[in-house]
Every structure is written in structure tokens, then in C-alpha cells.
Structure 1
Amino acid sequence: MKSWFPLMLALLLALPIPPASAQQRPVGAAPTPPLGWNSYNCFGSAVLEDEVKANAAYMARHLKSHGWQYVVVDFLWSYDNPPGSNFGNPQQYRLPDGAHVPWLTMDQWGRLLPQPRKFPSAQGQAGFKSLADYVHGQGLKFGIHLMRGIPRQAVWAKTPVLGASGITADMIADTTSTCSWNNHMYGLNMAKPGAQEYLNSLFQLYAAWDVDFVKVDDLSRPYHAAEVEGYRKAITQSGREMVFSLSPGETPVAQAAHVAQHGDMWRMADDFWDEWKAVLGMMAYARQWQGKDREGHWADCDMLQIGRLSKRGPVGPERYSRFTNDELYTHMTFWSIFRSPLMMGGNLPDNRELELKLLTNDEVLAVNQQGRNPRELYHKNGYSVWYSQAPGPQGGVYVALFNLNEKPGQLALNLGELGFKGKVKVRNLWEKRNLGSFKTSYGQTLNPHATALLLLTPE
């Protein structure tokens, strides 16, 4: 039968043509959305080396065979958190303006280093090399978080800039460019001699540590275009392939071409947490971004709020995700159909059977890794339908159905709206079972806040 042809034609015509500026850099370090774990949602600013290793070991044992590979140390690894402090208190993340205590761990070139009390293998300015070796030894990849700019204490100390003779930190800092929620750093004036050399020196260090992934915070909101370009140049100059993740959002949609040219992934919104209204908000952001990313460059919905969260802050008490089971499946389904990077936020060794099931369904992960051109078909009456093109010659389509209402309801899908003519085979991907063949429509009753993820193929 030739019922696949109208569908394929419609999907091809719907494919966006990226702006010329977005075509200048080919697919780089992230040809598909990265899958990994990030320390922030369970450990805030205070993850310890043994905890990173425990999550890496769990990933290697349970998740690596399903495509998971990145282990990322987030927020303030150079900061010596006071013992017993409440890590949910934002004031714990701040240095008073002009204060020299507590001091961030830093080398003579103004480059931050891992705090040895948190990361014992970093003693003697050894950096993250030993921890990266451990992660790589598990067959995984290693990443770190940075705050944008240069440490204020380097500016106060006038540390020299490696690779820029006669230039010191105070000569390249933009002291008017600061982060509204963390005052450890000043921005860089990229027009000043030595500013690019400073970033180059950072990434020479990270390359020596064998870093594979770098998340740069306070970069996208507001959008610091010159520094975005500076970080990209520094990664290229380092000679090591690294995923470049921009954070946090809301990244301006008007900068879609620029961020796709220079970044591998970028946050669409501020921090996402385990509240239903945040899921609805993320869907709204995704509507603005659909069709504006491209292969190898990904709009990012933020970390997965799945599993054991906030063990040491930063938001709320220690808990398993507050999402209901239906909401957890909706959360994972939407991140998958939209092709967001999947960065697990919960502490992996605390996973139960539920979390493992959510993270290891290969048919669902294929939607995230292989779907093409995700789009919303419609959003009305409290229901939303998203779809993307499945790989292969059959003309298959991935379809995600969402009941966003507070009561159960039936969602009826008109198959003709997806370009199908004739009978269509329907497979439920979460349940891994075929549901039969349907000619004109497919309907399913969904619980409140529930989802169904389907593969449709012409019979």
C-alpha cells in the first residue's frame, strides 16, 4: 500500500529551514539529545566525590546499556560549604560583596578548582582528573557546571591571565555585569585584550581533566551573546570535544539562530521542579521553541524531577518526586517527544522499580533519540497532542496524547490529521504492546494528568 506517501510528504514540507546563521556549525558533540545525571536536584551546592561515584556506578550498571552516559557535577564545586549548613538557603551560596572569606578554591591564574574537602582526589591542584578517570572507567562521560565570567576574588587579587602577558583579572572583568542570585563572579568584557585568553585557559584546564560536558550558568537570561561566542571559541581552541550547555532560561526565542550556532543545548526556562503547573509551563515554552532547534542542537526542558530529590537542598525537604505516577509518565513522555536532553535529577542509587522502569524503556527512549521534527498537533479543551516522525521507510509517526484536565476524559485522534489514509497500526510504547488497526480515528481514555505514547504505522 502507498498510504505512507501523503504522510511523508506532509512531514517533509513541515520541516523548518534553519536560518543561514544557524547552518554555519555542523552537528557537534551532541548528535542526539544527551542522556545523563546531574547532581543539583538532589545535592544542591554540596555534592561529594563518593556520591558522584555512586551515581556513576549505578548508571554504568543499570542505565548505560540504554544510552545514558553523562555524569555532571553541578553548582559550586569550588565552594567549601559550612558544615551543617542549610543548603536550601540561597544565602549559603553567596559571598558578601568585598569579602575575602569564605574563599573559593582557585589557582594562581584565577581559575576555580574543586574544593578538596568535597573532592579529596583534587588535593594538590589535581582538579577533576581523577574523578573523570573513574567516570570514564565506567564507560561514561564526565561533566561540570560553571558560573559565567571570572571569580570576583581573582579580580580583587589581580591574578595574571594565562596566555596574555601583562594582563590581570581586573583588566578583563566587567564589574557591572553580575548574576542576580549569586555574587561569586563578574562577567567578562570580551572586547578587552585577555578576555578570550582567560576563557581559553579555563578550557585548556578542563581538557587536561578530560571533561566531556560543560554547563555554563547565568549565560542565557539575560542572553550574553559575546560571552556565548567566547565559550564556544574556547571549547574549539581546547582541542577536546565537549557538549556546551547554556543555562538557565528563559533563553530568548529571538536568539534561536545564534544559540543553535554556538550551543549544543540551552535551557528554555528557569529551574523546573516537581509541580504540575511547571509541566504545563514547560509545554508552553516548548510551543514557542518547536521547529527552532535542529539536529545536534537542542532546546532543553531542564532536569528530570524523578526519584529521590533534595537530599541536601536546594528546594524543599528530602523526598521522592511529588509527581503522581500519571504525572511522572507525562513528564517523561513530554521530554521524550519534544526531544529535550534527558538529565536525571534524582539520586540514582535511591531509585525504586518505578524510576528504573521510567528510565529504561528503550521504545520510549527511541522517541527522544530518533524522532524527527517534533510538533504540537493541537491543544484544546485541556488536551494536547504532540507528534514526530519515526525513523525508517514505513512512514511511522510517534504520537503523545496528554490529558491536562483535572478529571478523566477520552481523547479522540483523527488519523487523517496526521496524513494517514487507510488502516493504521497502533502500538503503545510504555506498555510495549500492539493495540490493533484503526482506519479513521483512535481514541483512548486517560486519567487526569495522564499520557499515552504511541507509534502509528500504515498497515
Structure 2
Amino acid sequence: MNLLHKSIVAAGLFGSMAAPAFSQTKSVPKTDFHQWAATPPMGWNSWDCYGPTVVEAEVKANADYMAKNLKSSGWDYVVVDIRWYVGNDTAHGYNEKDPDFNIDQYGRFIPAPNRFPSAAGGKGFKPLADYMHAKGLKFGIHIMRGVPVVAVNRKLPILGSKATAADIYTKEGQGTWLRDMYTVVAGKPGAQEYYNSIFKLYASWGVDFVKVDDLSSPYHAPEVEMIRKAIDLTGRKMVLSTSPGETPIANAKHVQANANMWRTVGDFWDSWEQLKEHFEVCDRWSPYIMTGAWPDADMLPMGRLGIRAERGDDRMTRFTKDEQYTLMSLWSIFRSPLMFGGDLPSNDAFTLSLLTNKEVLAMHSNSRNNRQLFRKNDLVAWTADDPKTGDKYLAVFNAQDQELLPETAAAWSSGQITRQTPGQSKNANIDITGATKLYLNVRNGGDDTGWDHANWLAPTLSNGTKTVSLTTIPWKQATAGWGKSTVNKSVSGGQLIVDGKTYADGIGTHSNSIIEFDVPPGYTRFKTTAGLDKAAASQNTGGTINCLIFTKSPYTPAPADSSRIVVPLQQLGFSSACTVRNMWTGKTVGEFTGEFAPFIRRHGAGLYRISAKK
């Protein structure tokens, strides 16, 4: 997963991690912030469709849709994501060249009035929050951890302190993917006061939800604690969401004690490979589900995405209907917060039906003892309890795939390529005599990050006398784990740049990726350089890739289109006949004794309520 950081960060800058543990069923005192999110939050976030460029009219349009179509089903948060304070940000990325920051005299970012007209005249987000509240909705914003670089450079004063922004920062720990902020050093005079000042401002606007980015991986415990204290001092019930992940599991108890929700993965998009990885992630985090503190599997990349987002073009989700059932079933039985990423007014009837199923949402809100029941290769079952009736919930998943052949079957393999690899690339020069096919395959290099942008540079075919660029030959098909494989551009749409060098000829892609070509007759040699794109190398941890070349299909034989998943009912606590109800269709499946064994399509899911026969 993106930005997964499995190592335990040492004490010092990132602080001590000790904190009390909580259980799934632990009740919390009425004064505890956990009560502010007694069920997993549900809402809409602007990131997946608008990136850092959403404007007020678009936020209101999504809020209007929610109020009309989703509020009665429990959806109520409307969250404006990253860089709402930049007046000239760019779609499909960030403007880091000349960002027009809007900031007040105390070093606090304020909304860009050209994007949020109601914020003009110093009103901030209060008018927009009031708009939400009038509709019975709640208003949220995204912020970056730390103090703005621009506030440090200007030595802006901190409200409630004699210190300035230049007195409380360090460059150590600064996020490399977006350099708007510096780390705030806990204990320095003015550090806590800075956080107090920004949350005091947000409380005056009427903010109900704050998503704090660059906080979870690596885990910045001192800043988590300063943020917790600052929110509590406002007296306003603001739900705290930390992002992105994976939050180190070693910090689970600490984050439980300080936040309402925390990311278990990096940025999740409409990629089956990423969705499949969630089975392991959710199993790992299920012991830490707690009333008011929720492991967050990230947003729901469904509906219409990518209008002006960081990743991909304007599109409907790439998830099939089967995969969307898998996504909603797993998130719901895991009790992840549900933050919809698509443009709500663009929803079709199918998408709306997934978001408003009463039985599924009741399970999401009220179930207990949520856990993986078993995993047999890629056939998975989850279960949970209905504490009111004694019924059991059962989710079954068929995550089987046509598997890739091992690396040893490839005609060439780069081995792991990281930003420490000389040249951040490897050269390939292989004999393909007699080959009719060529497959360029990029795999995750093994570090579980999602920044695996890769480039095939100057790919050429030759026959001894003639050389032709592979980019002039249309491929038969191409996949990419994120975005789309692109000729002569990186997968993110920029130039092909590896280790500081720019290349005019090549293919940009992202793991996991397979690009298939028919080889023209007579060509006997293939040359290319496989490299780590600049976008991957510049991240906090850096991406890692493994690039392979095959001259025959890299796949094993495909599994069946559907598989029978056998669930012994005794494992669920039933020793006699049971009634099984399909929660997605609302229909009774039948009565069963001994076992329940539905057939589930590949990449699909079944979600059931099981009751003892009366």
C-alpha cells in the first residue's frame, strides 16, 4: 500500500508511543472525544474528483445531493480536501512553482476567496459551514501537519505567544511530496500555542471534522498530541482524522487514544490490486476497532472520479460492479469510516443503491466483534455480531486472480530498483529470436508503497540492420496499477525523468503493470532501460519496482469464473438450522444446516445475515 511505513520510528522527534489500549466494545465516558464519532463517520470528500482545486459551487452541489439523497441514510460530512488556501493550484498535481497562498497575520492559512467567494472579507469558512449546518450536514476540512513555510520565512507572530513561526519549526521530518509545511517542535515556546491558534480559528468557522495529512506515516506522535490538546481546548466537537497511512501498528494504542480515525493505507484508488491488499490490512487492524476510534481503510473511489484529481482522467470508477460489492462489503463489515470520493451529482442508480442499503449501513453502524473468519488462499470470509438480535453477519469474498508466473520465468528481470540503485535504473539487452510476443511487466518491488511510477526508456527492436522504437508500435493491451500506461509521458502526465535525466522516447506506467505487444516478424533483439520515475523517487520513502520482460504469456491458467466458499455454520456458533438472508438483495436465500456454501464470482462478494431458525 501507498506510504506503508512498517518500521517503528525512534524516540526523539517522533516521540514516545506508550498509551492505554481499548477494545472494540469498550464504552467511553461522556466527556471523552470518542463519543463524537460513536459510529464510523460517513460523508463526502473532494479529493478523488477535484484534487486541490475544488471550488465552493462544487462543494455546495455535492452537499445539496447529500442532503437530498443520502442524509436520511446517515451520510452527513462534507469535507474540503487539500490546499483550499491556494488560489492558483493546478489539476492533476500541485502548483509548487508559484502558489498563491492565502494566510492571515498569525501564520494561519485561510480559504482562497477566488475559489470560495463566501470567505471574502475575513469570513473564512464560516459561511460555507453555516450552509452545511442549515441542511443538517457537518463541515470538514483537510490540513497539513506543521507550520507553513511561508509563515516561517515571514516570521509571522503566533497568536497567544511572544514567539513567531520561525521559533517553533524544524526542517527535519518535512514531507518531500509537498513542501508547504515544516515540522512543529513540541516543547518549544509557541509550539502548542500555534496549534491552539489554528484550531481556535477552525472552531470559530464551525468546522466539525479535520483531516490532518502527513501525520501517520511516519507517525508524528508529538504533533498528534498537540493537535489533540488544541482541539479539546476549543470546546468544539471536531472529529480528528489522521492521514495518510499505513499508521505503524506499533502506534495503534497511541492513535486510538488521540484520534477518531486513522489511515491504515496510503492513498487508495480504483485499482483491484490495491483493493485486494485490503484483506490483509483489515485483518491486521480489526483488533483495534473501537467505539469512537476507527481504523480508516481510506475513501471509496466510486462513481465519477478524476475530474481534476491528482490521479487519472475524468472517468467513472474502474471498479467493476462485482468489485464495488467487494469494496462496500469489506469496508462495512470492517466498520471503516465511509468517505465517498466521487462527484455525487454524477451518481448513477447503481452507485446510489450501494450507498443507501439500510441493512448494510445498519451493520456498519451497530455490529460488534468484526473479524476475519478465515482465508483460504484468496477465498475469504469475515463475520460480525448483531448485538441486539444475536444474529451473525457473514461476508464472503472471491479474490482469486489469474496469477503471474514467478520472476524466474522471465526472459529478463531487473531485480529491485530503488532510488539508491545506481542511475535509478537497469539496462536490458535481450535476444528475442523467434518471439512473436513481448510483455513488459512492472511489479511492486516489495516495500508496500504505492509510489511505484516506472518508465520503460528508449525501448527498441532490431533485426541486425534495422532498429525501430517500440513506442511506434501500438500495444495489444496495457494495464497499470494506477493511472494509464502512456507513450512518451510518465504515468502522471509529465516528462519521462529518471535520475534527473529527461527522455523523449519511452513508456510511463505504474506497478502492477503489463503491456503486451505483437513482435513484427524478423526482429531478434530488444533493448530498453527500466527506471524509477522522478515521481516515485521524490517521495518520503521512495517507490521500489521490479521490471521484467517476457516473450510468452506471464500468466498462469485462469481460475474458474466463480467458486464455492464453504462456511461451516458451527464456526459462527450455530449447531442447528439457520435462515440466511442476502443483505444486498434483501431476499431470503433459504434454510441451511451444517454449512452454507454460496458460489461467488471472481472479484465479487456476498453479504448475509444468518439467524437461528425459530
- TM-score, normalising length from structure 2? 0.69
Question: What pairs up with 1:27-106 in 2 under 5 angstroms?
Answer: 27-81=34-88, 85=90, 87-89=91-93, 92-95=94-97, 101-106=98-103
Specify the code of the residue in structure 1 equivalent to 2:295: A
After superposition, what is the alpha-carbon deviation per residue over 1:345-376, rounded to whole angstroms, capped at 9, x for unaligned? Answer: 00000000011111000101111111112110
Give the Cα separation in 1 of the matches to 2:157 and 2:231: 21
The answer to whether the Cα contact below 8 Å between 1:403 and 1:451 also exists between their aligned partners in 2 is yes
1:227 to 214, 223, 228: 223
For 2:483, the equivalent position in structure 1 comes to: none
For 1:383, the equivalent position in structure 2 comes to: 379
**Alignment of 1:217 onto 2:221:** no
**Alignment of 1:125 onto 2:279:** no
After superposition, what is the alpha-carbon deviation per residue over 1:190-230, rounded to whole angstroms, capped at 9, x for unaligned? Answer: 11011001100111100100000000000000000000000
Question: 3-state SS of the aligned residue for 1:270?
Answer: coil
Return the structure number with greater relative CO, CA threshold 8 A, min gap 6.
Answer: 1
Question: 3-state SS of the aligned residue for 1:262?
Answer: coil
The alpha carbon displacement at 1:176 in A equals 2.0
Question: 3-state SS of the aligned residue for 1:232?
Answer: helix
For 1:4, the equivalent position in structure 2 comes to: none
1:140 to 137, 140, 153: 137
The alpha carbon displacement at 1:269 in A equals 0.6
Give the Cα separation in 2 of the matches to 1:266 and 1:273: 17
The alpha carbon displacement at 1:293 in A equals 2.7
For 1:176, the equivalent position in structure 2 comes to: 172
Question: 3-state SS of the aligned residue for 1:316?
Answer: coil
1:361 to 351, 357, 360: 357
The answer to whether the Cα contact below 8 Å between 1:58 and 1:349 also exists between their aligned partners in 2 is yes
**Alignment of 1:186 onto 2:190:** no
For 1:398, the equivalent position in structure 2 comes to: 393
For 2:586, the equivalent position in structure 1 comes to: 432
The answer to whether the Cα contact below 8 Å between 1:28 and 1:296 also exists between their aligned partners in 2 is yes
Give the Cα separation in 2 of the matches to 1:62 and 1:21: 38
Question: 3-state SS of the aligned residue for 2:107?
Answer: coil
**Alignment of 1:346 onto 2:342:** yes
The alpha carbon displacement at 1:142 in A equals 0.3
After superposition, what is the alpha-carbon deviation per residue over 1:40-77, rounded to whole angstroms, capped at 9, x for unaligned? Answer: 00000000000000000000000000000000000100
The answer to whether the Cα contact below 8 Å between 2:304 and 2:316 also exists between their aligned partners in 1 is yes
Give the Cα separation in 2 of the matches to 1:190 and 1:202: 16
After superposition, what is the alpha-carbon deviation per residue over 1:261-315, rounded to whole angstroms, capped at 9, x for unaligned? Answer: 0000000010000011111112211121111231110000000011000101210
The alpha carbon displacement at 1:170 in A equals 0.3
Question: 3-state SS of the aligned residue for 2:328?
Answer: helix
The alpha carbon displacement at 1:447 in A equals 1.0
Which sections of structure 1, spanning at least 5 residues, go unmatched?
A: 1-17, 96-100
**Alignment of 1:158 onto 2:155:** yes
The answer to whether the Cα contact below 8 Å between 2:304 and 2:342 also exists between their aligned partners in 1 is yes
For 1:110, the equivalent position in structure 2 comes to: 107
Percent identical: 47
Q: Which has the higher strand share?
A: 2
2:261 to 265, 270, 286: 265
Report the structure number with the largest CA radius of gyration.
Answer: 2
Q: Quick one: structure 1 residues 246 and 93, their matched pair in 2 at CA, closer, same or farther if it must change by over 3 Å?
A: farther
The alpha carbon displacement at 1:175 in A equals 2.2
**Alignment of 1:328 onto 2:324:** yes
The alpha carbon displacement at 1:81 in A equals 2.2
The alpha carbon displacement at 1:168 in A equals 0.5
**Alignment of 1:310 onto 2:306:** yes
| Pairs aligned (count) | 430
Question: 3-state SS of the aligned residue for 1:20?
Answer: coil
Give the Cα separation in 1 of the matches to 2:279 and 2:345: 29
Give the Cα separation in 1 of the matches to 2:576 and 2:173: 60
Specify the code of the residue in structure 2 equivalent to 1:77: W
Give the Cα separation in 2 of the matches to 1:242 and 1:222: 23
Give the Cα separation in 1 of the matches to 2:120 and 2:204: 16
The alpha carbon displacement at 1:144 in A equals 0.2
Q: Quick one: structure 1 residues 208 and 19, their matched pair in 2 at CA, closer, same or farther if it must change by over 3 Å?
A: closer
The answer to whether the Cα contact below 8 Å between 1:28 and 1:264 also exists between their aligned partners in 2 is no
Specify the code of the residue in structure 1 equivalent to 2:340: M
The alpha carbon displacement at 1:93 in A equals 4.1
The answer to whether the Cα contact below 8 Å between 1:163 and 1:201 also exists between their aligned partners in 2 is yes
Specify the code of the residue in structure 1 equivalent to 2:599: T
Question: What pairs up with 1:241-320 in 2 under 5 angstroms?
Answer: 241-320=237-316
For 1:98, the equivalent position in structure 2 comes to: none
Which sections of structure 2, spanning at least 5 residues, go unmatched?
A: 1-17, 402-560
The answer to whether the Cα contact below 8 Å between 1:329 and 1:450 also exists between their aligned partners in 2 is yes
The alpha carbon displacement at 1:21 in A equals 4.8
The answer to whether the Cα contact below 8 Å between 1:256 and 1:293 also exists between their aligned partners in 2 is no
Question: 3-state SS of the aligned residue for 1:110?
Answer: coil
For 1:7, the equivalent position in structure 2 comes to: none
Specify the code of the residue in structure 1 equivalent to 2:96: R
Give the Cα separation in 2 of the matches to 1:251 and 1:188: 19
Question: 3-state SS of the aligned residue for 2:387?
Answer: coil
Give the Cα separation in 1 of the matches to 2:230 and 2:575: 51
The answer to whether the Cα contact below 8 Å between 2:88 and 2:100 also exists between their aligned partners in 1 is no
For 1:450, the equivalent position in structure 2 comes to: 604
Give the Cα separation in 2 of the matches to 1:381 and 1:148: 39
The alpha carbon displacement at 1:410 in A equals 1.0
Give the Cα separation in 1 of the matches to 2:154 and 2:347: 45
Give the Cα separation in 2 of the matches to 1:19 and 1:224: 14
The alpha carbon displacement at 1:79 in A equals 0.8
For 1:412, the equivalent position in structure 2 comes to: 566
The answer to whether the Cα contact below 8 Å between 1:45 and 1:93 also exists between their aligned partners in 2 is no
